[in-house]
Amino acid sequence: MKPMLPTLTFERPIKKGWVYEVKYDGFRAILEWNYQGIDLISRNEKSLLEQFPEIKSFILSLEDKIKPFLPLRLDGELVSLENPCKANFSAIQTRGRLKAKKKIKELSELSPCRLMVFDVLILKGKPLHTFSFQQRKEMLIDFFESLGLETTAEPASHQLLQPVIPHNDFNELWEKVVLYDGEGIVAKNKTSVWEEGKRSSNWLKYKNWKYVSCFVTSFDKTNGYFYVGVYKNEQVTTIGQVLFGFKPDEKHALGQIVKQNKISEDQQYIYVEPAICLEVKYLELYENQLREPHFHQFRFDLQPSDCTYDHFIFQQKNLPEELEITHPEKPLWEQHAIRKADYILYLREVSPYMLPFLKDRPLTVIRFPHGMFGEAFYQKNCPDYAPDFVHTYATEDINYILCNNLKTLIWLGNQLAIEFHVPFHTIYSQGASEIVFDLDPPSIDDFSLAVKAALLIKEVLDQLKLIGFVKTSGNKGLQIYLPLPEGKFTYDDTRLFTSFMAEYLISKDPDSFTIERMKRNRGNRLYVDYVQHGEGKTIVAPYSMRGNDHAGVATPLYWDEVNEKLEPRNFTLKTALQRIKHQGDPFKNYFQTKEIQPFAPVLEILKKQG
């Protein structure tokens, strides 16, 4: 069966009666399960099961639940999921080329791919091609819910069959796709029927193009491609070849300029010195070359020296175009090879996971204008020179920054704001939005005390059926979060619980824990800073870096990682991103937990005891 295909559009496909889905970048695949068995068929009508045995293993694990729905046919995209909106094209290509069964088996277990299902074509043996897309989508979601499967895209999940959920608001989904650096969106007419083998105007794909400033290096006489490059370490580096996107007169003019200014020529190529600057749009960098490059415009305002690899990498990561990153080569740490460019790219990569914890919270940053080589300072007031897209909130004579979008986060990064500290409530909160325990040992060498305290707190939380999340402070301690429903609990309420827990820790091990405010009176004990949880106080945000020697990051953890082997210096800029990629985000269910946190009964008991 040939699949129905979407038509590419360069205009935002916002239409009445349409819905919008994340477009994943992988192999189009149709899953068949009928009386002859299971198969996974590619767009070219070849079986993919030998290359991707994990898909068959997973659905066979659901055989008893799926049997009532057979025969069935599902349409989707086979992907290596990187985040909820992005698939890793390079990884799926690598898997698709493998021949050795041992290596296929190894990767299918270590880095399993998954089928993102966006349509159902046969269910219980009934063909659904003539049903509307909306009807088919409703049946698809009902099918997943009947199997007891999750309906959200989650790369760390062991669920290798996941549905693609439709959205009614294009702009809301697009903002999310851009934030996660996804491939794009497919818009679908809710009334459309399935059109086998047709590239239909009822499905429109709108891609998340990236833009690169580059220069022409040569012209291929055999096929009409223009090769383009950038400067890397003052050497010309070729990054791709462009054929599409030119108007006929633009292509002719460029060809003439190349011929008139050639420095050499052979049987296949005409070569030119870097001089003609272009802007090219493309999907991503694959094997150091541009994928799907299209000419966008001439850049007569640029010199070839402006087209650098550093600038290219920023553009590749979809940094906001209007933001200029100044001095990207500036070193920030003495003992680590971290440049300002690396820090900005870290913020870009971690932004989907960090921004929800900054949103609508009055922000205090610690800026290091000279990196770790100079003095740092706290900044609460938004400076007069802040751009218009920076939201603010004025209270108590301070005009705080609200870091509510990617532009603001990157702008702050360019100002070398390294540490991001937020209060325990938003500007809309009535009372506390969460409880946080800050477990602060006397030194990083006493980190085991923080682990001991965290595990004791976890025991109590489990007994009380409370849901806690844990992260490193990025410095020398641990911090435990209890998300709370908004507007239900005051800081007086939460103080009852934090003081109760502090007293409990001291009663369990007075030689290890203390609530003594004076440092000189603490000895070698961990300070349980329950007073720090209060109105006007702040805590370092999840995924914020810290201005310390080991370039630490306040990193969310899974509870099973909190043990005697935990080493705080291991959680840095590089490891934070690797963890998200390979283990997912331990705080991914944080905000959903707020509504189900059973804190009210615990508070009632504490009030009665008080």
Strand 513-514 to 526-528 pairing: parallel
What is d(CA 82, CA 111) in angstroms, rounded to the nearest whole number?
11
Assign residue 523 a region (left: φ > 0; alpha: ψ between -120 and 50; beta: otherwise). left
List the one residue out of 371, 467, 470, 367 whose CA is nearest residue 421: 367
What is d(CA 266, CA 271) in angstroms, rounded to the nearest whole number?
9
What is d(CA 23, CA 87) in angstroms, rounded to the nearest whole number?
9
What is d(CA 92, CA 108) in angstroms, rounded to the nearest whole number?
11
How many Å is the maximal CA-CA distance in the chain? 91
CA 343, distance to chain mean position in Å, is: 16
- Reduce the DSSP state of residue 218 to 3 states and report it: strand
What is d(CA 316, CA 308) in angstroms, rounded to the nearest whole number?
12
CB 603 within 8 A of CB 497: yes
The total number of residues written for the chain in this structure: 610
What is d(CA 207, CA 221) in angstroms, rounded to the nearest whole number?
30
Q: How many C-beta atoms lie closer than 10 Å to residue 81's C-beta? A: 25
Q: How many C-beta atoms lie closer than 10 Å to residue 186's C-beta? A: 22
Query: Is 23 among the residues known to form the active site?
Result: yes
Q: What residues have CB less than 8 Å from 578, skipping those under 6 apart?
A: none
Task: Choose the catalytic residue: 23, 281, 340, 594.
Answer: 23
List the one residue out of 133, 277, 279 whose CA is nearest residue 215: 277
Task: Name the percent of the chain in helix, strand, coil, to the closest 5.
Answer: 30, 30, 40
What is d(CA 287, CA 312) in angstroms, rounded to the nearest whole number?
15
For CA atoms 196, 197, 199, 205, give the dihedral sign.
Answer: positive
Contacts of 140-146 spanning 24+ positions with Cβ under 8 A: 140/74, 141/165, 143/69, 144/117, 146/65, 146/69
What is d(CA 462, CA 606) in angstroms, rounded to the nearest whole number?
17
Q: Which residues are catalytic?
A: 23
